[in-house]
Amino acid sequence: MIEALSIWVAAGLTLAIMSFLYGDNPVYKFAEHLYVGYSAGYWLIYTWHFTIKLMVIQPIAEKQPGAVWLVIPLFFGALMLTRWFPRIAWISRWSIAFTVGIGAGLTLTGAVHGYIIPQVKATILPLWTGNGLTSFNNFVIVVGVITTLIYFFFSKPHTGVLGKTSKVGILFIMVAFGASFGYTVMARISLLIGRLDFLWSSILKLVQFF
Q: Which of residues 167-196 bind other proteins (CB under 8 A)?
A: 169-186, 188-189, 191-192, 194-195
Separation in Å, CA 74 to CA 13, 95, 98: 39, 10, 12
Closer to other proteins by CB, 4 or 208: give it.
4
Give yes or no for a contact between 174 and 166, defined as CB atoms under 8 angstroms apart: no
Residue 204 contacts other proteins per CB under 8 A: no
d(CA 27, CA 141): 50
| Residue whose CB is less far from other proteins, 77 or 159 | 77
How far apart are alpha carbons 25 and 31 in whole angstroms? Answer: 10
Minimum CB distance to other proteins smaller for 154 or for 210? 154
51-70 residues in contact with other proteins (CB under 8 A) are: 51-52, 55-56, 66, 69-70
* Least distance in angstroms from the C-beta of 157 to other proteins: 19
Min. distance of Cβ 160 from other proteins in angstroms? Answer: 20
Q: Which of 4, 27, 60, 76 binds other proteins (CB under 8 A)?
A: 76
Angle between helices 2-18 and 160-209 in degrees, nearest 10: 140
Question: Of these, 1, 22, 23, 84, which contacts other proteins (CB under 8 A)?
Answer: 84
Contact residues for 117 (Cβ-Cβ < 8 A; gap 6+): none
From CA 81, how far away is CA 73, in angstroms rounded?
A: 13
By C-beta, is 67 or 207 nearer to other proteins?
Answer: 67
CB of 156 to other proteins, least distance (A): 16
15-54: contacts with other proteins (CB under 8 A):
17-18, 20-21, 29-45, 47-49, 51-52
Shortest reach from residue 164's CB to other proteins, in Å: 14
Binding mask 103-142 for other proteins (x = CB under 8 A): xxxxxxx-xxx-xx--xx-xx-------------x--xxx
Residue 150 CB, shortest distance to other proteins, in Å, is: 9
- For the residues of 111-167, what is the DSSP string, one character each? IIIIIIHHHHHHH---S--S-HHHHHHHHHHHHHHHHHHHHT--SS-S-HHHHHHHH
Contact, 106 vs 96, CB < 8 A? no
